[in-house]
Structures are given as structure tokens and as C-alpha cells.
Structure 1
């Protein structure tokens, strides 16, 4: 089992999937809600505590932050049309990527666990998936890490 970040926001690891599947290796995406961005409970980088990694995360920096907020707003419209939350859409999207992909969303509250479980019952149509790809064609705006910490997959 390989474990790394993977979500609607973070898609760099998709390059590994053909090899993982050829070898029969499952994939466990952590932070499937984009480090909280896909929950809608976000604020600009400067508003986080000094030791919070989101202060440095390029996706929270000016320019990228606003673009990501707009993408989440559009995802919220899609989610509302399905009677769901953005978090549920994000998790349902992961579940459409293959039976060998098992996300592990973190949660501190029972109601969030129940919300996350509800994603398993959410059906995303081909049109929904195309809309998601239109909103975030290659994932979130901004790199996953600052350059010094960025992994290389090939």
C-alpha cells in the first residue's frame, strides 16, 4: 500500500497509478480534503498560526488562494445540486478513481465522520466528473509544497 496526499486538489501522484495497478499495489490518499481547503473552512495563509504548514503552502498564498476559493465555490454549486457537501463530492470523486484507492479523511467531530461516510452513497455522473475536471483541470492552484520539500515521482 502506498500512502501520500491525493485529492481533487492534489493530482501529481496519478502518474504512479499505472505502475501501482500493474503491481497490484493499493493506494491510500491522505489529506483527501486538500488539507481542509475542500471543507470550505479556510482562511488566507497569514491568518494561520506560525507553525501551521498552510502559512507556507503555495495553495494558500495570494493569487492561488483566491483561485482555489473560487474553485471551491464552483464545487459547492455542484455539491448543492446533488444535495451534498463539497467534502462529500471530493471523497466521492476519489472513490470513482478505482477500487484500489481508499481515502483516509481525518476528522475530529462525529458529525464530520457521518458526513464523510455519506460520500460513499453519492453517485457522481460522467457529467459531474467532467464538471470537476473543468473546475480543477490539474488540481488546485499552486504547488503542493514549497520547492525545497516537493517530492519527485519520476
Structure 2
């Protein structure tokens, strides 16, 4: 069984150089703001509803730093199957999944601190950085390392 891509479906544009993509409905909707009705929309540039890769990379790194700075957080966790990540050009930030409308943080906490307190502190730290809801998952609890007596 073979499948064909939308461009090889025999559309009138196949075989020609690709033209710039038309704005998506989200791009058009982003061009409208709360200004008075009847303003000159052709003079207003379309704003993309997506953040640039650099902004997303910066935000992901700031979220990681804020989470790891909370006392009681041992490390971020990639999820049961390693699927929790924010994918950026050339790398993935594991343990943090940033979406336009929400954020997820998966972490490992220390058994030496109250888990609800650590979770609350992480939630507050991330909430200060992102818009939208923050979903926090404590994936594991790690005991502090035990020291064996020195001989």
C-alpha cells in the first residue's frame, strides 16, 4: 500500500515552485486585537501566534532552573517512557513539556522534605514564568544517600 503526500496528489500547484504559505486561521486571528472596529487591517502586519524557537528555548531553560532551585527537588524526570520533553532545535529539555496553553513538569523529590510543600513551591515557581495552567507530576521520591561509616 502506498500513500501520497498532499503535494503529490495532482493539485494544480504540483510541479511548480512552492509559494509562500498562506497565513493560518490562528495567524489571521492574532492580527485582530481589541482596537476599534474598522481599523486598516491591511496596514497591520500579521503576528504569529507561535513563539520563536529562541523564546521557547529561553523559557524552557528558565523553567528548569526555577524547578531545580526549589529545595527538595532532586531532578527532573522524563516520564515512564521518556516521552516528557520540550523539543528544541538540536536538543530536548526532558522533564518539562511546554505547550502554548499549558505546562507540565515531571520531577523526582527528596524524601527528606514534605512532598506537598515541594510540589507547591515548584508550582508557584513555574506559574510565575508561564501563562496558563501548570500540571505537576511527582514521578518518584528518592531517599537521601546513606553514608557508610568510614573505616
TM-score w.r.t. length of structure 1: 0.27
Between structures 1 and 2, the one with greater strand share: 2
TM-score w.r.t. length of structure 2: 0.27
Highest CA radius of gyration, 1 or 2? 2
Between structures 1 and 2, the one with greater helix share: 1
Higher-RCO chain (CA-CA 8 Å, sequence separation at least 6): 1
